[in-house]
Copies of this chain bind each other. A is one copy, B any other.
Amino acid sequence: MRLLLLSNSTLPGEPFLQWPRPHLSGFLTAPARIAFIPYAAVTFTFDAYADAVAGPFAELGHTVESVHRSTDPVAAVDAADAVAVGGGNTFQLLRLLYKHDLLRAIRRRVREGMPYVGWSAGSNVACPTIMTTNDMPITEPPSFRALDLVPFQINPHYTDARLEGHGGETRDQRLAEFLVANPQRRVIGLREGSLLHVTDERMRLVGRPARLFRSGTDPVELAEGSDLRADLAGH
């Protein structure tokens, strides 16, 4: 398996998909036909999302075919060289993956070796469930179970900042709640501008330090560049 799982697509003030460009360049062999999954888009159209994604990938020599333009999304994934799953709302993304019967198709192709690129919600759905999303549950998927391509949970856009004087939970408190309800799981909080590069041999953290959350122990910081296979293996 080969996955590039990004915390986020874009850093403040930068063009769309700029920071990950060198990593995408090394990850995908040009020219690749990329099946794009635009289903996480809520406040903009799938067409607009597909057009926005086409440019950055074209500069790297790839072509993007959005599955929403296909009459047979499963066949579109089957015919592609790689799959890219865009961010947005995780609940809508997962609901539409189920609706178009794409979970099995993507899982099978990626397990056979097709490269998978995801950012934000697109990284969340590569996990066993979407239970560590930050998104609002604006629509109801048939299940929280997701692609289960990696054995751990990602919390994208991870931050330990908090709003002054606000009583809502911090991100760490939310993830502590997740671990009480799911003590067998491990969670990696991926800060913005970070990614996980997963292959059968290793899981490399790129960009910034991340935070690892496990039941019964304090969170620990993971150094950029390190191989996390031992930290994130198992359930």
Contact = CB atoms under 8 A, between A and B. Distances in A.
Give the copy number.
2
Interface in A82-96: 89, 92
Contacts of A178: 136, 138
A230 interface: no
Interface stretch (A47-55, A100-108, A164-172): A164-172
A131 interface: yes
A138 to B, nearest CB: 4
B137 A167 contact: no
Interface residues of A, number: 40
A134 B132 contact: no
A11 interface: yes
Most B CB contacts (10 A, CB to CB) among A92, A131, A136 go to A136
A131 B135 contact: no
15 contacts: A43-B173, A43-B177, A89-B181, A131-B136, A131-B139, A131-B140, A132-B136, A134-B168, A136-B174, A136-B178, A138-B178, A139-B182, A159-B168, A161-B163, A161-B166
A10 B42 CA distance: 34
A145 to B, nearest CB: 9
Interface string A101-135: 00000000000000000000000000000111111
Contact of A176 (B43, B92, B159): B43
A157 interface: yes
Interface string A1-42: 000000010111000000000000000000000000000001
A168 B174 contact: no
Given A166-B157, A167-B192, A130 B137 contact: yes
Interface string A164-208: 011111000111111011100000000010000000000000000
Given A157-B167, A159-B163, A166-B157, A181 B138 contact: yes
